[in-house]
């Protein structure tokens, strides 16, 4: 993972290590003096407790049933910390020390920690990239202001080459060979890690960004209350067209949330693919929407097909909070780069076909899993599932 680690080992200078050792030594010495000056008969764990608590613990000690579980003992022994409201597994810690969320801000290795960050990026943009697409990614990154943390997921194992770009030195690089956007997202974009970011852009590498500006995009997303969105698509010359009317660019419009398809395609006009729908190639999630979507991503379904039809499960009402931004639009160039990373099959299928087949299979499996989960839920509530119109 990343250059961050490598650098952190390289940079510590010998005299800094010396200082650390000296500090440890001095600290240890003082600890020894304090330890020696304490009356040895007194249990150290109870030293800081107010008298009342100590008293209580004595009474309970006498009454404790010797067969009670260790957790009950914890609850009964006020000198031991047990905070059920803490994150799972951290109950033994005093809440004041618990940091349940993190961030991707890069820090320096010296100086006062609180002064590390002169400013904190408010948004996150991730690209899943191969080095072959460097020109495209360079152009795309430049459309994102300094208010963005840039995170690259490398599927081809080439990371150092990117340092020819100045921005790359401040970006975060994560490398794992031949994986997909949704695989990386599930592993490295846990909602508690990306919690500081108000919006998260999760983009493919083959998008043309000439008519796109990220700051302007966010203004529109805010204005129209979109929790899940994407820039409208303009078909490129190399692709036949845009798959869905919903994600196709409309002239003279800022944002749209509904579309029409050929008769029969949209039984329910407020449901995908006619509303409550964006595609998986360039989604943008609000912090809250991502917290939900992350939980819906299945670990072994790496292509994310079908996920786009289900994003709507995460926001309410979905047809108002999911939309497409026409005024900041992109071109889908349709370069099947990751598709070519498949393995040649023994059956003689070309790699791209095997990948495509898996995409479809994942879609069907995901739909099945989701339907079963919903059925299970309603059954557990005693609600007759057959009477519900769930519009899957």
Ligand X SMILES: *[C@@H]1O[C@H](CO)[C@@H](O)[C@H](O)[C@H]1NC(C)=O
Q: Which residues bind ligand X (CB under 6 A)?
A: 145, 147, 215, 245, 259-262
Residue of 335, 332, 238, 237 whose CA lies nearest to 278: 332
For residue 225, give both structure tokens. Answer: 């209350």
Assess contact for 363 and 371: CB atoms under 8 A. Answer: no
Residue 299: CB minimum distance to ligand X, A: 35
With respect to ligand X, which residue has the nearer C-beta, 199 or 366?
Answer: 199
With respect to ligand X, which residue has the nearer C-beta, 243 or 359?
Answer: 243
Residue 215: CB minimum distance to ligand X, A: 4
For residue 217, give both structure tokens. Answer: 């995009």
Angle at 349 between CA 348 and CA 352, to 5 degrees: 145
With respect to ligand X, which residue has the nearer C-beta, 185 or 324?
Answer: 324
Give how far Cα 168 sits from Cα of 2, 144, 173, Å. Answer: 11, 13, 8
With respect to ligand X, which residue has the nearer C-beta, 172 or 259?
Answer: 259
With respect to ligand X, which residue has the nearer C-beta, 61 or 261?
Answer: 261
With respect to ligand X, which residue has the nearer C-beta, 138 or 258?
Answer: 258
Residue 248: CB minimum distance to ligand X, A: 7
Residue 146: CB minimum distance to ligand X, A: 6
With respect to ligand X, which residue has the nearer C-beta, 28 or 263?
Answer: 263
Residue 218: CB minimum distance to ligand X, A: 9
Residue 203: CB minimum distance to ligand X, A: 19
With respect to ligand X, which residue has the nearer C-beta, 130 or 323?
Answer: 323
Residue 195: CB minimum distance to ligand X, A: 18
In the bound complex, which residue of the shown chain has the CB atom lying closest to ligand X?
145
Residue 251: CB minimum distance to ligand X, A: 11
């Amino acid at each position: 993972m990343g250059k961050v680690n490598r650098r952190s080992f390289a940079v510590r200078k010998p005299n800094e290590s010396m200082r650390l050792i000296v500090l440890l030594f001095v600290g240890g010495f003082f600890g020894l003096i304090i330890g020696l000056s304490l009356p040895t008969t007194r249990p150290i764990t109870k030293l800081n407790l107010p008298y009342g608590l100590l008293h209580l613990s004595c009474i309970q000690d006498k009454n404790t049933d010797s067969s009670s579980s260790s957790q009950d003992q914890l609850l009964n022994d006020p000198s031991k910390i047990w905070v059920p409201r803490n994150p799972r597994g951290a109950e033994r810690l005093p809440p004041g020390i618990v940091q349940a969320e993190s961030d991707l801000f890069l820090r320096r290795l010296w100086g006062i920690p609180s002064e590390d960050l002169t400013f904190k990026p408010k948004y996150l943009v991730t690209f899943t990239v191969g080095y072959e697409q460097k020109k495209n990614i360079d152009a795309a990154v430049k459309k994102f202001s300094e208010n963005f943390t840039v995170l690259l997921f490398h599927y081809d194992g080439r990371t150092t080459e990117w340092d020819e770009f100045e921005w790359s030195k401040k970006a975060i690089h994560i490398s794992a060979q031949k994986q997909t956007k949704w695989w990386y997202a599930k592993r490295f974009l846990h909602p508690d890690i990306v919690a500081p970011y108000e919006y998260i852009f999760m983009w493919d590498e083959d998008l043309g960004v000439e008519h796109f500006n990220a700051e302007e995009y966010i203004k529109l997303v805010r204005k129209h209350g979109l929790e899940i969105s994407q820039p409208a698509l303009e078909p490129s010359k190399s692709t036949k067209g845009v798959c869905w009317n919903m994600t196709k660019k409309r002239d003279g419009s800022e944002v749209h949330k509904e579309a029409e398809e050929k008769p029969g395609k949209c039984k329910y006009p407020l449901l995908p693919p006619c509303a409550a729908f964006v595609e998986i190639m360039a989604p943008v999630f609000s912090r809250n929407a991502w917290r939900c979507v992350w939980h819906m991503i299945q670990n072994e379904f790496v292509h994310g097909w079908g996920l786009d039809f289900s994003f709507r499960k995460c926001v309410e009402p979905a047809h108002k909070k999911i939309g497409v931004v026409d005024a900041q639009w992109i071109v889908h160039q349709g370069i099947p780069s990751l598709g070519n990373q498949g393995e040649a099959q023994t059956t003689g299928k070309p790699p791209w076909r095997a990948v495509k087949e898996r995409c479809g299979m994942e879609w069907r499996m995901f739909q099945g899993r989701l339907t079963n989960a919903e059925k299970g839920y309603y059954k557990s509530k005693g609600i007759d599932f057959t009477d519900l119109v769930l519009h899957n």
